[in-house]
Structure 1
């Protein structure tokens, strides 16, 4: 493990008198957690994106604020739901964010998980999908996004271009362009098939918090197999840059009595879970809670954590800035060094070479 960051689900709501967060407080807490994590040497601040729910939604304002307040930490998503996006507008935003962040973007994108709204992307104006999950729509829009960030022509100049030095009818690319932004795009994959396609495209792999298979193997072993499929496809496609791979886990080090009271393991949390998502039998990862030596042993035995270069810790973002920074600091001081991590002093890590 060369890098670790936090993955925030960005929940808010409930009564403020009972500790519930407003949307404003959630966003300010997210920025403050990111600033504190940057000071700790944590590598990344990543945010889940969901629509029609009291969670983080359109992420660019938050990511830009985090980038402006921090120096080294990677800023990104896990993941943007492409069904809801205008691909060219997202390409413009992503390039601008990457320039603001001086190349510290790790933009995770995918078809998206089940949402609160029934075919909610259609209310955003994106119709025509013949797939009840909108996968066809997401894929075609993602392909346009990739073309745009790589500088391919997306329109033609007018006969008399206004406010432009383009020749009449010349091909036009979106602006701004950010060098090598393509190499900082991740696809959130929940299956081997998707992981293979991600490798063939030359993207980074953000292995999902669930896998749409249940073979009896552990979640970590299933993920490790998925990562192997991705790397083999990347290698066979002949890409020249080096990819990155992330996995996410809930990890709560117990280093104080307060930790023990708050995070003491509840029945069923120390094993993988099997459930149904999108009418598919799926495997969900377990939580890791324990004293540092115990966590080190368990995470070293997790094949996917050992295979990936980046570990995202899912944090209880509603619990406030102080507690979340305590969790990150405890992991950074007592667990992560034994897994190969050193504090971030220079910026984002580079990808793992493909042998």
Structure 2
């Protein structure tokens, strides 16, 4: 494990006892937490994107704000649902954030997970999908997005325009960030999707679930998915080594408060149904640091990946989450091979 960061679902709403976490609170706390993690030398702050829900839905303003307040930490998404996106506008926004952050954007995209509404992307104006889950629409948008961030000319210049200086030919999307293409990730929930990402030459974000359930442990299924992705990458002839991330719920039990919230939360893999398919969901790790080290060293997928994303209970606030992250950075991560960005 070369890197670790946090994956926030960005929930807001009632907290109980008359307390309310607003959307503004959630966004501002995300910025403060990322700044605190940057100071600790943590590698990344990543955010889930959901629509029609009390969660973060428009990541680019948030990522730009974090970029302006931090120096080293990678900022990204896990993942943007491409069914809902104008791919050219997303290309403009992503390039701008990448430039503001000096190349620290890790943009995770995919078809996305099920939403709280029926075919919500059609409400956004994106229709014509022949797939009940919109997978064809997501990949169509993704392909145009890649062409845009690769700098391909997409619109004919107007030679008669007062702003075109008589130029002709095709104009690319602006701004353009040369390194952004290498920092795009595809979120995959099954082997076929991971292999497609490898052939397409993008990095892999392996989901917190897999649409497979054959009785084997989640980490074994996920490690096989990672191996298949890397094999597809090599067979396609792509240069270099792609990055791979996995997500886990990991809580070091260090204080009495940790035990109160997460003691007894250790559980095994879960089998459920998502999008009509039997799926395997990864387990929660909650134990004393020395036990966590043993467990994570035995997790085949954590060992196969270079980046670990810790899912955090963001609604518990900045102070609590920063302490959880610091406990992991101090007592667990070094034993897994991690070195702080602060040296």
The TM tier, using the shorter chain, reads over 0.9
What is the match of residue 109 of structure 1? Answer: 109
Task: Report the Cα offset of residue 222 of structure 1.
Answer: 0.5
Query: Does residue 308 of structure 1 match 2:311?
Result: no
Cα distance in 1 between the residues matched to 2:176 and 2:165: 17
SS at match of 1:129: coil
**Residue in 1 that maps onto 2:197:** 198
Matched-pair contact (CA < 8 Å) for 2:159–2:166: no
- Which whole-Å deviations, capped at 9, do the CAs of 1:60-105 have from their partners, x for residues lacking one? 0000001110000000000000000000000011101100010001
Which residue matches 1:332? Answer: 329
User: TM-score, normalization: structure 2?
Assistant: 0.98
Residues 345 and 179 (structure 1 numbering): CA distance in 2 closer, same or farther, change over 3 Å? farther
1:132: how far off? 1.0
Q: Secondary structure at the match of 1:103?
A: coil
Please say if residues 84 and 121 of structure 2, whose CA atoms lie closer than 8 Å, have aligned partners that are also in contact: yes
- Paired residues of 1:16 and 1:22 also in contact (CA < 8 A): no
Provide structure 2 residue ranges, at least 5 long, that are not aligned to the other structure: none
Residues in 2 aligned to 1:308 and 1:19: alpha-carbon distance in whole angstroms: 39
* C-alpha separation in 1, matches of 2:340 and 2:128: 47
Distance 1:230 1:286 in 2: 23
Aligned to 1:352: none
Give the structure 2 partner of residue 282 of structure 1: 279
Paired residues of 2:159 and 2:165 also in contact (CA < 8 A)? no
The 8 Å contact of residues 20 and 318 in structure 1, kept in 2 or not, is answered as: no
Which whole-Å deviations, capped at 9, do the CAs of 1:103-154 have from their partners, x for residues lacking one?
0010000001101111110111111111110101001010000000001111
Aligned equivalents of 1:73 and 1:38: distance in 2?
5
Question: Corresponding residue for 1:137?
Answer: 137
Partners of 1:282 and 1:291 in 2: CA distance: 29
Q: Cα distance, 1:14 vs. partner? A: 1.2
Structure 1 alignment gaps of length 5 or more = 347-355
The residue number in structure 2 matching 1:181 is 180
Structure 1 residues 321 and 204: CA distance shift in structure 2, 3 A: same
3-state SS of 1:282 partner = strand
Query: Which residue is 1:99 aligned to?
Result: 99
Shift of 1:48: 0.2
Q: For the residues of structure 2 that align with 1:19 and 1:106, how far apart are their CA atoms?
A: 34
TM-score by length of 1: 0.95
SS at match of 2:50: coil
Aligned to 1:127: 127
Q: 1:58 maps to which residue?
A: 58
Instruction: Label 1:166 to 1:248 Cα distance change in 2 as closer, same or farther (>3 A).
Output: farther
Report deviation, 1:161.
2.8
How many pairs align?
343
Q: Give the RMSD, CA atoms, in angstroms.
A: 1.2
| 1:158-208 deviation digits (Å, cap 9, x = unpaired) | 24134234613x111100110121100000000100000100111000001
